Amino acid sequence: MIYLASKSPRRAELLTRLGQPFGLLDIDIPEVRQPGEAPEDYVRRVAREKAGAGLLAVQGNASACVLGADTEVVLDDEVFGKPVDQADAAAMLRRLSGRTHRVISAVSLVDAGREAQAVSMSEVRFAEIDAADIDEYVASGEPMGKAGGYAIQGGAERFVVHLSGSYSGVMGLPLYQTMQLLRQFGVH
């Protein structure tokens, strides 16, 4: 049985697209970057910790396979997590405006005896976003709970000038990499 260790409705929606039945685990892992930790290492660690915590939660199920994922927006070397409030979301969008940022999405898959991980790196370039558009987008509530304060599959799609990489990875679960991991574990 496959389990998704995530509270994200977007990840669940994306995993559904692969056609595999799965269970959901409500896992709460602190997402705190350690001093000096590189952005990619941070995203990899959080994904691995989510998968490991999920495996502990289904300990009695010997056939359990647990998928953990993390996605972060990175501008220069700064990781933009989920905004704490609307002002924080607006500040993130102002900083991303007219710039290219990276979106790092890591996926970890674990079972009782194995662990594998994949990372998707995407680049997203935003147009210059004027203050009125930022205010309108933030007022919609959509930026809350989303890395970098935006949802590429929602209203922020209109800000994207260029995307290089995985659209589903920017949403929160890179489907190609996830499918490859599941195949490594014998899930087809």
Annotated catalytic residues are 70
Report the sign of the C-alpha dihedral through residues 59, 182, 74, 148, in that order. negative
Q: Which residues contact 173 (CB under 8 A, 6 or more apart)?
A: 10, 11, 14, 15, 69, 71, 105, 107
Provide the token pair at 13. Answer: 């929606």
- Within 10 A of 129 (CB to CB), how many other CB atoms are there? 18
The CB-side HSE value for 99 (13 A sphere, CA atoms) comes to: 14
Q: Where are the beta strands (DSSP E) in the chain?
A: 2-5, 22-25, 65-75, 78-80, 100-110, 115-126, 160-164
User: Measuring CA to CA, which residue among 115, 119, 133, 129 is closest to residue 173?
Assistant: 119
Element (H, E) at 59: none
Q: What is the rounded radius of gyration, in angstroms, for the C-alpha atoms of the chain? A: 17
